[in-house]
Amino acid sequence: MRLSVSRNILLAIAASLALALPGRAVAGSHHAHTRPLVVVLDPGHGGDDSGAASADGTLLEKTMTLAVARLAARDLQRLGFRVYLTRTRDQAVNTPPRDLNHDGKIDHVDELDARNLFANRHHADLFVSIHFDGSGDSSVHGTHGYYCPARPFWRNSRRLADLLTASLSSSLHAAALDDPNLGVQTDVADVIPQTRADYPWFLVLGPSLKRFITGSAMPGALIETLFMSSPHDDAIMRKPSGLAALARGYTEGILAYFNGKSSR
Residue 41's φ and ψ, nearest 5 degrees, are -100, 130
Express each pLDDT in 67-124 by its tens digit: 999 999 999 999 999 999 999 999 999 999 999 999 999 999 999 999 999 999 999 9
- Does some domain include residue 224? yes
Whether 241 has a pLDDT exceeding 70, the answer reads yes
How high does pLDDT run on average in the chain?
89
CA 159 from centre of chain: 13
Express each pLDDT in 10-51 by its tens digit: 444 444 443 333 334 444 333 334 789 999 999 999 999 999
Among candidates 60, 42, 88, 75, which has minimal Cα distance to 238?
60
Q: Are 225 and 143 in contact (CB under 8 A)?
A: yes
Query: In total, how many domains does the chain have?
Result: 1
Among candidates 1, 12, 14, which has minimal Cα distance to 258?
14
Report the pLDDT value the prediction gives residue 263, as an integer from 0 to 100: 52
Q: What range defines the domain where residue 186 resides?
A: 36-258
- Does some domain include residue 15? no
Q: Which residues of 55-64 are buried (b: 16+ CB within 10 A; e: fewer)?
A: eeeebbbbbb
**Binning pLDDT at 50, 70 and 90, where does residue 264 land?**
very low
CATH number at residue 179: 3.40.630.40
CA 90 from centre of chain: 17
pTM of the predicted protein model? 0.87
- Does some domain include residue 218? yes
- Does some domain include residue 152? yes
Report the pLDDT value the prediction gives residue 262, as an integer from 0 to 100: 54
Q: Give the containing element (helix H, strand E) for 59.
A: none
Report the pLDDT value the prediction gives residue 18, as an integer from 0 to 100: 39
- Does some domain include residue 148? yes
- Does some domain include residue 29? no
- Does some domain include residue 166? yes
- Does some domain include residue 199? yes
